[in-house]
Amino acid sequence: MVTVLGVDGGQSGIRLKSSAQPGTIEVDGVSRLEGDTVLSVAEAVANALTQGRFESIDRVVMGLTTSPVDAASASRLGGLIADTTGAREVWIADDTVTSHAGALSAEAGVSIVAGTGVGCLALKDDGTSRVVDGHGYLLGDAGGGFWIGSRGISAALKQHDGRGEATILSERAADQFAGLDDLAARIHQIRRPVNRISQFARDVLTAAGEGDAVALTIIDNAAHELFDTARAGLNWVGPDAPLALGGKLLAPTTMLFARLVELLVAEGLSFRPADASALDGALLLGADDSPGIYRGLIQIWKEDSAS
């Protein structure tokens, strides 16, 4: 039996899990702001391996927010990961791929996953695909953790300046960031600002649940953004295709999930919670010797060659 190491690499954290043993190891994530992301990801995996004491590994399947966009970088990453893990094969894909495989049990359809960012992959039975949004925090990821968190902090700063509505988010931001004075300057100096800002999304969700009008507006707007993303994916695959909602922000217990469901139901669109996580999706993909309908979305490094 092939032993697979699944890697779910995001901006907030990188998670590793083996098909041969229980437990998940998590280390700090990597963003594209951090220079040589290939090396950073490889070092993070090496760090996690020392903590996890994983048994012999045959194949590594990686779903990465920072997945290399060119073959040379993917080959370099594959070689580094193989050297670290001893694996004979390394499969490298964007995290929308492993998220989709987990959310829809490796079947065609549309998955939308909201965490720090937003990933939406629309995949047809013939393997043709389209990614909707997932453009990163500077240009997109609308409705995700950074999107929500940044708007929550901005609302707090506006009230602090005397420009905005009263909101409990001011108190929550002051608690989380040791006051509001010079907060903008201090956030810009944080080593991993995208992750830190995205964590504030939880405070926005909590404030919305308590009835804060400003927070409610942010969450409502986030739900509309995610709805537009999901609908775009369904329009491309076909409105009857399965739609799965996943990620921490779209757990069935969150207000964001509830609001998005309201919008989907109002349009007569069916959906289901994700079957499993992106990490589970990586393990599911690696259990088969062929990537199947995901073949065009995965770069495969092997001992004897890279493809």
* Cα–Cα dist 8/17, whole Å: 9
Quickly name the fold that domain 108-274 has: Nucleotidyltransferase; domain 5 (3.30.420)
Q: For residues 45 and 69, is the Cβ–Cβ distance under 8 A? A: no
Pick the CATH number of 4-100+278-302 from 3.40.630.30, 3.40.50.1370, 3.30.420.40, 3.40.50.300: 3.30.420.40
Whether 108-274 and 4-100+278-302 are alike in CATH topology: the answer is yes
Find the mean pLDDT for residues 265-287. 94
| Cβ-Cβ contacts under 8 Å for 191 (sequence gap 6 or more) | none
At residue 33, does pLDDT exceed 90?
no
Read off the pTM: 0.89
At residue 306, does pLDDT exceed 60?
no
pLDDT in tens, 225-261: 999 999 999 999 988 899 999 999 999 999 999 999 9
Q: Give the count of alpha carbons within 13 A of 243, CB side only.
A: 25
pLDDT of residue 143: 96
At residue 193, does pLDDT exceed 70?
yes
Residue 69's pLDDT band (cuts 50, 70, 90): confident
**CA nearest to 269, candidates 102, 109, 98:** 109
Question: Beta partners for 63?
Answer: 8, 93
Residue 307's pLDDT band (cuts 50, 70, 90): very low
| Token pair recorded at residue 25 | 């190891």
Give the start-to-end residue ranges of the domains of the chain: 4-100+278-302, 108-274
Rounded to the nearest integer, the mean pLDDT of the chain is: 91
pLDDT in tens, 108-138: 999 999 998 898 999 999 999 999 998 888 8
β 243-246/109-114 pair status? parallel
At residue 208, does pLDDT exceed 60?
yes
For 157, phi then psi, to 5°, come to -70, -35
